[in-house]
Amino acid sequence: MRKIAKGVAALALVCSSAASAEGGYWGATVGLMDIDQRNVDSPLNVGLRGGYTLPSGWGFEAEYTNSLISGEADVFDGDVDVDIQTLAGYGTYRSYGDLYFKGRLGLLYEDVSVGRFSEDDTGISLGAGVGFNYSPNTNVELEYTMIEEDVGFWSGTVTLNF
């Protein structure tokens, strides 16, 4: 848990400095952590995202998510809660236009809790999606991000550009 707190503090520091420059953005994301396991219901995660996009379309972003509504796993002694917490840094690319495509690749730390048991892991994460420039300062993005081999994050994000 201490690692997550330090990571969130670093995320806030990096993204605050990036968001103060033109091309910077902050946003909120919500989505389903789709767990590809038998007898496991997926948790609903919410999070914060911040980053910076260069005029070329390349950029970086950081994202933190945590389970708002726990999933459930059917185990031998009954149902237990399933929660997933993530902290990630990505390199990104957004195409040009009001309707655009987005790709991202980066490093992700995750903490998965199933009942009383918890396990964390670090690895490569990648994602793709589409976005829409709703106004000059507001974007809406729909994405799929591979968290690990059997966990994907289907999300919707609203970002405010500065």
pLDDT digits (tens, 9 = 90+) for 3-39: 555 555 555 555 444 445 688 999 999 999 999 988 8
Distance CA 123, CA 133 (A): 31
Residue 131 C-alpha from the chain's centroid: 15
pLDDT of residue 88: 98
Residues 70-97, mean pLDDT to the nearest whole number? 92
Q: What is the pLDDT of residues 123-155, one digit of tens each?
A: 999 999 999 999 989 999 999 999 999 999 999
* Residue with the two structure tokens 């103060």: 20
Residue at 36: amino acid letter: D
Between 76 and 156, residue with greater pLDDT: 156
Q: Which residues pair with 24 in a beta bridge?
A: 52
Separation of alpha carbons 151 and 160, rounded Å: 28
Query: From the centroid of its chain, how far is CA 7?
Result: 14
CA distance 62 to 68: 19
pLDDT computed for residue 19 by the predictor: 44
